[in-house]
Amino acid sequence: MNFVSFPRIGLKHLKFFSLLLLTPLIFSFGVMAQQQQLTLVDIITVLRSKKVTQAEKNQLLTEGVRQRGITFALNADLEKELRLAGADDALVAAIREKSPVMKVSATPQPKIEASPVPTQKTPDFAFYQNRANANFVMGEYDTAITDYNKAIELNPKEPDVYFSRGLAHFNKASYTPAIADFDKVIEIDPKEAMAYFKRGNALEKTGNFEKALSDYQKAVELDPDNDPAKAALQKLQAALPKPVPPTTTNTAVVQKTEPVPQNTPAAATTETAATNEPGNFGALNRFATRLAIPVYPMVERQRNTEGLVTVEVSLDEEGKVVSAKAISGPRGLRQSAEDAIRKSKFKPVIVGDKAVKATGYINFNFKVG
C-alpha cells in the first residue's frame, strides 16, 4: 500500500488552499513566498517542476517577481540558465526589470556601488521541513529527503520529520531506510498508530510478514478507526499459510510447512485488474472531477491550528468514494478534510480497458490567513 501521505506535517508558512491542478506549483511557490524577495534557486525550482504547464509556471513566477522582486542581478549567463529551465520572454523581462541596479557615481574617480540586497534569514528547522514537504508533494523524493536530513540535524527529536522522510523512502521503494525512520518515530512516540501501520507496509514489502502482521495488529489496537490498517491486517492474515498440526507416530513427529514467498504474502498475487483488488495509485488529484474545499473549523482557526492533512481515499470501480480516512496532520483538522473528500467527485480509474477499485491519497493544507 503506497501512500504519498504527509501525515502529521504542518506547513507553517504556506497559505490555505485546496489541491487543484496547480497544487504542486503553488506548494513550491508558497515556500518561496515566505521570503521578501525571490532567489534564483526559487525560480528555477518552480520552472523545473513537472506537474503543470510551462505557461502556468511562467505566469505565476512573472507575477511573483513583479510583486516581490529578486535577490540577484541578471546577467547573460543567468539569463541563459533561466531560458534552459523554461523561462519565457515575459518572465525574463520581469526579472530584468527587478534586477538590482549597479550605480556609478559622477566623481572623477568612478566608484561602483551595488544596491543593497536584503539579508536573508538563516534557514532554520521550519524552512527545511516546509521546503521538503513541498518537494514531497511534487514527487521530488530525493530532494525532499535531503531537506529532511537537514531538518533532523537541527531538531533530532521531532517525530514528524522522521515519519515524512520514511514515507519518501517508502515511495522510492527504499524499504530498509523507511523501516529505520518508522522505528525512530515509534521510539519517540510509542503510541503513534500510523508509524506502526506504515512500518508494517514496508516490512510486508520486504517479505517479513510475521513482523508486518504484528505491526498491523498494534496499529489497530492504538487506533481502532484505522480502516486501512484493519484491511491490511485481515488481508495478511488470510494470505499467510496456516500452521500444520504435528502428527504423532511411533517414530518421529514431522511438521511440514510450505515455504513462504519473499516478495508476496500470498501464494499467488495477480494483477489488480484481474483480481479486482484495490490498486494504489498515489495522489488521486488527477482523477478528481470536483475537489471540495475543506471547511476550516472555527475552534481550530481560533487556536491558530495549521498544517498539512493527508487523507487516504478508497474508490470503487465507478469512482465513488468508499472510504476517506485522514492518516496524518493536526487531529482537529482531520474531520474537515475527510468531509471534503466525501463531497468530492472522481472519475473511474481505468487499467487497460477495465475500471478498477483504487486507493490513494489527497493532501489539504490548512493555513490561518
Cβ(321)–Cβ(45) under 8 Å? no
For the stretch 340-368, pLDDT in tens is 999 999 999 998 889 999 999 999 999 88
Query: What 3 state SS string does 60-99 have?
Result: HHHHHHHHHCECCCCCHHHHHHHHHHCCCHHHHHHHHHHC
* Residue pLDDT, tens place only, 55-79: 888 888 898 888 888 888 888 888 8
Q: 122 pLDDT band (50/70/90 cuts)?
A: confident
Q: Which fold has domain 125-239?
A: 1.25.40
pLDDT band at 27 (very low <50, low <70, confident <90, very high): very low
Q: Examine the pLDDT at 234 and tell me if it is beyond 50.
A: yes
- Angle at alpha carbon of residue 128, lines to 296 and 16, rounded to 5°: 15
User: CB burial class (10 A; 0-12, 13-18, 19+) of residue 249?
Assistant: exposed
Amino acid 1: pLDDT: 45
Sign of CA dihedral 122, 125, 126, 129: positive
Q: Up-side HSE of residue 229: CA atoms within 13 Å toward CB? A: 27
The fold of 272-366 is TolA/TonB C-terminal domain (3.30.2420)
Please determine whether the domains at 125-239 and 272-366 fall in the same fold group of CATH: no
Q: What is the reported pLDDT for 226?
A: 86
Q: Does position 273 have pLDDT exceeding 60, yes or no?
A: no
Listed by start position, the domains of the chain span 35-102, 125-239, 272-366
Using the CB atoms, write b or e for 107-123: b if 16+ within 10 Å.
Answer: eeeeeeeeeeeeeeeee
pLDDT at 10 over 50: no
